[in-house]
C-alpha cells in the first residue's frame, strides 16, 4: 500500500514513531478496500499508526481505531500502542525467519536426496519424502530423513534409509554429509555391518567446530541392505533404525527380525550384525524412517500404524507396483499428514534369469587361461555377444592369470553375468587388493590391469570371508561388428603409460 503524504501512516513510516490523528477522514483515502479495517465504516473518532520494527527494519504498520467514544488518543495511548506494535513485530519477524529457514532447509534437503532412482535389474524402486505437517508446531521444521539406492558390482543394489536427529538447516546439512559417506562406503563393496561401523566412527568423531560439539543433530539411525538378484538374498544391518517390512508374493507382510544395533555415533557400544534372508522374485521390501509410524493426526499408537503398514504392502500382483504401494502406504498410514519427516523407499525385487549367469570352477594352473577364454567365447556366442569376444577374452585372461599367480592356491571361480552390462568376475582365496601398476615403457609386464581398466566401464574388487572377487563391467556395443581394437589402438593405450 502506498500512503499519500500527510497521512498518519506516511508520517509514522517517515519518523518511525507512533502517530495519532483525530481526523479519520485524512486516513480513509489511503486505506482502500483491501485494508483489514476498511469494513469498520463510519463512527471512528481517533486513529493511531504504530510502526512494526524488527532487526533495524520497518516491517509494516499496526493501526488502532477508537469508535463510539469521541475522545482523542493521548500520550499514554501512544506508548501502549508502540509497545504492542513492538511485540507484534517480534512475532512477525520470527514467523518470517522461520518461513525462510524452513524453505531453505526443505530446498537443501530435496537437493541432497536422489532426484531419480536408478533403473536396475535387481529391483523396481519407488520413494517418497514427506515433510512434517505444518499443523504439528515445531516439528514442522525440516528434518534429516533421507534414502538412497546405490548400484553395486555383480548386478546387486544397496538400499539405505537414515534419520538424523533434530530439525532445520544443520540437520539437513548433516544428512547430506552422511549420505555422501554412505555412497563412498558402498563403492568399496563393504558388507552392511562394516558400512555401519565406519559410519558410527565417522559420526562419533569429535568435531573441530565448537558449535557442533554437542549438537544433537549429529546423532542418527540408519538401515543398510544389499540385495543380490543372482542368489536372491538380501543382507540387512541396522543402527537403531526401525526394521524393514517384507511382503512375499501371495504371502502375509511382516517385519524382518534382525538385531537393532546402537544408533550411530555412540562409539561402538556393541558390534553391528547383519542378517541374510531369501527373497522370492516379486517380493516387496519397504524401508522407512520412524516418522511413518509415529502417532499421526488421525490415528493412535505405533503398533496400529505398523499394522496399517503391513496391510498396505499386501495385495495382488497389479497392486504391487512400487509407485502404487508408496501411495497406498502414505494414504493408509498417514491419512492426516505426518507429525515428523518421513522417508520411504519401496523395492520390488527381481531375479537375474539363470540363463544369464555362467559359472566355472578352474584349477589354479596357468594352463587353464586359454580354456577359460574358450568357455567365455562359447557363452558370448550363445548370448549373441560374439562381437565382444576380443575385449572380454583379454579381460578374462588378465583376471584369471592374476588369480592363478597371486590367489593363494586353490581353485579359481570365473563367472559371467549378462545384465545391462556384461560383468566378468574372478574369485580367489587371497585377501590382497589388486591395483593398477604404472609400468615403465621398457618393462614387458605390469600392464594387465591397465588394459582391463581401459576396456571396462568400471572395475574393482570386493572381499568375502575367505578371499576376494575382482570384477569388470563392459557395456555391450551397439555396433555388433568386431570392435576396432587392433595394433594401433593397443599401441595408443601403451603410449599413455610412457
Using one digit for the tens of pLDDT, what is the confidence trace for 296-354?
544 457 888 899 999 999 877 767 899 999 999 999 998 877 878 899 999 999 999 99
Name residue 424's beta-bridge partners.
416, 472
Quick check: 490 pLDDT over 70?
no
Q: What are the tens digits of pLDDT across the range 13-24?
A: 888 888 887 655
Give dist(CA 187, CA 150) in Å, integer.
8
Q: Mean pLDDT of all residues in the chain?
A: 83
Query: 438 pLDDT band (50/70/90 cuts)?
Result: low
High-pLDDT (> 70) share of the chain, % = 81
Give the pLDDT of residue 338.
81
Q: Identify the structural domains of the chain with CATH numbers, from first to last.
A: 8-103 (3.30.450.40), 113-349 (3.60.40.10), 354-495 (3.30.565.10)
Is-contact 288 343, C-beta < 8 A? yes
Quick check: 497 pLDDT over 70?
no
Give the pLDDT of residue 67.
74
Give dist(CA 367, CA 12) in Å, integer.
96
Quick check: 432 pLDDT over 80?
yes
The beta-strand segments (E) located in 68-179 are 123-130, 143-151, 157-167
Q: What are the tens digits of pLDDT across the range 99-155?
A: 887 777 677 777 778 889 999 999 999 999 988 765 444 444 567 889 999 999 999
457: three-class secondary structure by DSSP:
coil
Q: What are the tens digits of pLDDT across the range 392-401?
A: 999 999 999 9
Query: Which residues are within 8 A (CB) of 18 and not within 5 positions of it... i.e. 6 or more apart?
Result: 12, 48, 49, 50, 51, 78, 79, 81, 82, 85
Is-contact 46 23, C-beta < 8 A? no
Quick check: 484 pLDDT over 50?
no
**In terms of Cα–Cα distance, which of 369, 373, 408 is closest to 388?**
373
**In terms of Cα–Cα distance, which of 402, 474, 397 is closest to 433?**
402
**In terms of Cα–Cα distance, which of 143, 175, 147, 167 is closest to 159?**
147
- Give the chain's count of helices (H) and strands (E): 11, 18
**In terms of Cα–Cα distance, which of 433, 436, 412 is closest to 424?**
412
Half-sphere exposure of 352 (CA within 13 A, CB side): 25
All three cell numbers of 353: 534369469
Lowest mean pLDDT among 23-27, 54-58, 223-227: 23-27
Quick check: 451 pLDDT over 90?
no
Give the pLDDT of residue 137.
45
Give dist(CA 62, CA 80) in Å, integer.
12
Is-contact 175 146, C-beta < 8 A? yes
Quick check: 215 pLDDT over 80?
no
Lowest mean pLDDT among 13-22, 425-434, 453-462: 13-22
Give dist(CA 285, CA 349) in Å, integer.
8
Interval 269-289 mean pLDDT: 94
426: three-class secondary structure by DSSP:
strand
Interval 378-383 mean pLDDT: 96
Quick check: 441 pLDDT over 70?
no
What's the farthest any 2 CA atoms get from each other in the chain? Answer: 112
Quick check: 214 pLDDT over 60?
no
Please tell me which residue, 382 or 140, carries the higher pLDDT value. 382
Amino acid at each position: 500500500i502506498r500512503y499519500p503524504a500527510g497521512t498518519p501512516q506516511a508520517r509514522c513510516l517517515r519518523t518511525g514513531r507512533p502517530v495519532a490523528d483525530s481526523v479519520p477522514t485524512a486516513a480513509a483515502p489511503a486505506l482502500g478496500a483491501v485494508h483489514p479495517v476498511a469494513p469498520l465504516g463510519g463512527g471512528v473518532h481517533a486513529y493511531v499508526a504504530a510502526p512494526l520494527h524488527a532487526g533495524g527494519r520497518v516491517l509494516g504498520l499496526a493501526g488502532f481505531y477508537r469508535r463510539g467514544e469521541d475522545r482523542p488518543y493521548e500520550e499514554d495511548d501512544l506508548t501502549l500502542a508502540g509497545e504492542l506494535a513492538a511485540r507484534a513485530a517480534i512475532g512477525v519477524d520470527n514467523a518470517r525467519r522461520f518461513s525462510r529457514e524452513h524453505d531453505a532447509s526443505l530446498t537443501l534437503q530435496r537437493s541432497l536426496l536422489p532426484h531419480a532412482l536408478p533403473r536396475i535389474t535387481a529391483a523396481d524402486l519407488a520413494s517418497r519424502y514427506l515433510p512434517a505437517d505444518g499443523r504439528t508446531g515445531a516439528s514442522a521444521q525440516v528434518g534429516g530423513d533421507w534414502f538412497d539406492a546405490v548400484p553395486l558390482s555383480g548386478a546387486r543394489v544397496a538400499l539405505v534409509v537414515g534419520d538424523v536427529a533434530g530439525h532445520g538447516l544443520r540437520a539437513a546439512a548433516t544428512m547430506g554429509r552422511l549420505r555422501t559417506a554412505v555412497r563412498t562406503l558402498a563403492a568399496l563393496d563393504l558388507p552392511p555391518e562394516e558400512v555401519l561401523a565406519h559410519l558410527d566412527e565417522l559420526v562419533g568423531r569429535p568435531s573441530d567446530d565448537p558449535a557442533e560439539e554437542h549438537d544433537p543433530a549429529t546423532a542418527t539411525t540408519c538401515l543398510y541392505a544389499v540385495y543380490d538378484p543372482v542368489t536372491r538374498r538380501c543382507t540387512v544391518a541396522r543402527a537403531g533404525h526401525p526394521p524393514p517390512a517384507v511382503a512375499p508374493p501371495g504371502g502375509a507382510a511382516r517385519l524382518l527380525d534382525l538385531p537393532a544395533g546402537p544408533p550411530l555415533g555412540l562409539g561402538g557400544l556393541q558390534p553391528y550384525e547383519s542378517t541374510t534372508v531369501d527373497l522370492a522374485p516379486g517380493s516387496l521390501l519397504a524401508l522407512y524412517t520412524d516418522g511413518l509410524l509415529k502417532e499421526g493426526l488421525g490415528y493412535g499408537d505405533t503398533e496400529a500404524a505398523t499394522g496399517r503398514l503391513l496391510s498396505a504392502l499386501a495385495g495382488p500382483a497389479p497392486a504391487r507396483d512400487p509407485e502404487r504401494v508408496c501411495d497406498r502406504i502414505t494414504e493408509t498410514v498417514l491419512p492426516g499428514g505426518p507429525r515428523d519427516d518421513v522417508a520411504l523407499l519401496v523395492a520390488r525385487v527381481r531375479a537375474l534369469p539363470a540363463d544369464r549367469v555362467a559359472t566355472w570352477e578352474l584349477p589354479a594352473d596357468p594352463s587353464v587361461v586359454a580354456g577359460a577364454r574358450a568357455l567365455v567365447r562359447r557363452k558370448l556366442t550363445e548370448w549373441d555377444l560374439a562381437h565382444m569376444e576380443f575385449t572380454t577374452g583379454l579381460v578374462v585372461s588378465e583376471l584369471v592369470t592374476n588369480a592363478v599367480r597371486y590367489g593363494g592356491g586353490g581353485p579359481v571361480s570365473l563367472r559371467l553375468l549378462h545384465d545391462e552390462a556384461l560383468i566378468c568376475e574372478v574369485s580367489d582365496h587371497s585377501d590382497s587388493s589388486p591395483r593398477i601398476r604404472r609400468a615403465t615403457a621398457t618393462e614387458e609386464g605390469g600392464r594387465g590391469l591397465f588394459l582391463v581398466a581401459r576396456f571396462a566401464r568400471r572395475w574393482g574388487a570386493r572381499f568375502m570371508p575367505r578371499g576376494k572377487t575382482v570384477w569388470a563391467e563392459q557395456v555391450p556395443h551397439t555396433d555388433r561388428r568386431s570392435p576396432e581394437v587392433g595394433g594401433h589402438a593397443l599401441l595408443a593405450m601403451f603410449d599413455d603409460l610412457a
